[in-house]
Copies of this chain bind each other. A is one copy, B any other.
Amino acid sequence: MYDLVSLGKSAKMASTLLRAASEQERNRALSAIAGALRERREEILAANRIDLENARVAGMRNAMLDRLTLDQDRIEKIAGAVEEIIRLRDPIGVVEHGHNHPNGMQILRTRVPLGVVAMIYEARPNVTVDAAALCLKSGNACILRGGKEAFGTNRALAAIMRAAVEHAGLPADCIGLVEDTSRETAERLMKLDGYIDLLVPRGGAGLIKTVVKTATVPVIETGAGNCHIYVDSEADLAMAARIVDNAKTSRPSVCNAVETVLVHQEAAGDFLPMMKAALDAHNVEIRGCPKTRVILKTAVAATEEDYATEFNDYILAVKVVASFEEAVGHIAAYSSGHSEAIVTKNVEKARRFVREVDAAAVYVNASTRFTDGGEFGLGAEIGISTQKLHARGPMGLTELTTVKYVVNGDGQIR
């Protein structure tokens, strides 16, 4: 059985030293990583060629092969991304509040690293570097478990990063790689209580579901997005059509894409043909309720399940609603709590929508596609949380930290 406990112990020990490292020390290690990735790129490419060869023999699809592939240009981009992380504001040591107790003690609420962060992800080897760099920046040791198809590449990347970190004066064990890609070991990692302060799954819905179901260590759930746009009776219909088109077709595979459009019955007759005209450029399949199909003859009949589905594809569910309340009720019933939008000119309905809809991001007259760490000004993004505790919406470096109260006294007793 692969010795995960030793890996956990090493990571925990490294996190103790990393907790006391200054921003300069952490940035120096990141800089060493970026340099070493460039310098030792031939090693990485050699390992990657073997992974690709094996994957081809195993019959991997082209789209997946492309995700797995590294070349000089991609390695340069990965190194550049590390340098961007260096430039982000240090999340550690931030004093969120500070005041003096009436007895004269100083009480500071400060941001500190979580400790050990584990990441489980799939075939993209760039995540190996990205995850390690985000953790290092936020003062956390990491334990990485990538997909088995990328294992050789990940092992080369981890070895290079570990050597660079050590060369820069921090423990190599700040970055740990699980060197056994079996499912059993992944499941034991999800249950490595006492060594892991946070586990973040990064990947498809299947992976995330498994992690949430199996893990006993703290997890942040990311990425499920069944998003809606409600086109109100008082909407600017041309604006609504542009927003729906953007939210569906600019990148249908992502979690902030729209899946269902709700349209008020007073607007449906005018709006749906406008919307369809825009979507036709991308051959979007429309699945509609009976009223939708009266207006759009070519629409397929929508099933109950369609309204619950994150298509991640050029497919859009549509429902004509009799009222604002019906729209909000539909969203409450089907939303995954990711991103929800209203298009309206009416300020009262805009305010009600913002108040009554329960989601990580609520939009008035804008595309759901903006729910993103970069767009929201957080810098790097670890993922988009759809849970309510600890992190909700785009997660930045701050979400990889916790709080420590520091109390400085002169002998105070209670």
Contacts and interface: CB of A to CB of B under 8 A. Distances in A.
A377 B376 CA distance: 31
Contacts of A20: 352, 355-356
Nearest to A256: B414
B242 A19 contact: no
A393 interface: yes
A412 interface: yes
Contact of A19 (B245, B355, B363): B355
A370 B16 contact: no
Interface residues of A, number: 64
A362 interface: yes
A245 B411 CA distance: 12
B115 A358 contact: yes
Given A101-B370, A115-B388, A405-B393, A411 B377 contact: no
Interface in A233-261: 236, 239, 242-243, 245-247, 250
Given A356-B16, A377-B107, A366 B409 contact: yes
A414 B16 contact: no
Contacts of A371: 405
Give the secondary structure class of A's interface: mixed
A402 B411 contact: no
A14 interface: no
Contacts of A402: 388-389, 392
Contact of A409 (B250, B364, B405): B364
Nearest to A409: B366
A160 interface: no
Interface string A192-209: 000001100000000000
B115 A407 contact: no
A320 interface: no
A64 interface: no
A114 interface: yes
A304 interface: no
Given A19-B355, A366-B412, A404 B390 contact: no
B218 A411 contact: no
A387 interface: yes
Contacts of A27: none
Nearest to A100: B377
Given A361-B404, A402-B388, A376 B411 contact: no
Interface string A170-193: 000000000000000000000000
Interface in A74-123: 99, 101, 105, 107, 112, 114-115
A25 to B, nearest CB: 12
Contacts of A19: 355-356, 358
B392 A362 contact: no
Given A20-B352, A375-B101, A402-B392, A361 B413 contact: no
A362 B250 contact: no
Given A356-B20, A370-B414, A414-B246, A405 B365 contact: no
A243 B355 CA distance: 49
B411 A243 contact: yes
A177 B98 CA distance: 38
Contacts of A369: 413-414
A254 to B, nearest CB: 11
Nearest to A97: B377
A134 interface: no
Interface in A377-414: 377, 387-390, 392-394, 402-414
B406 A332 contact: no
A198 B389 CA distance: 8
Given A16-B356, A358-B404, A375-B414, 15 more contacts: A19-B356, A19-B358, A20-B355, A101-B370, A105-B366, A198-B389, A239-B411, A246-B413, A354-B406, A361-B404, A362-B406, A363-B407, A366-B407, A366-B413, A370-B414
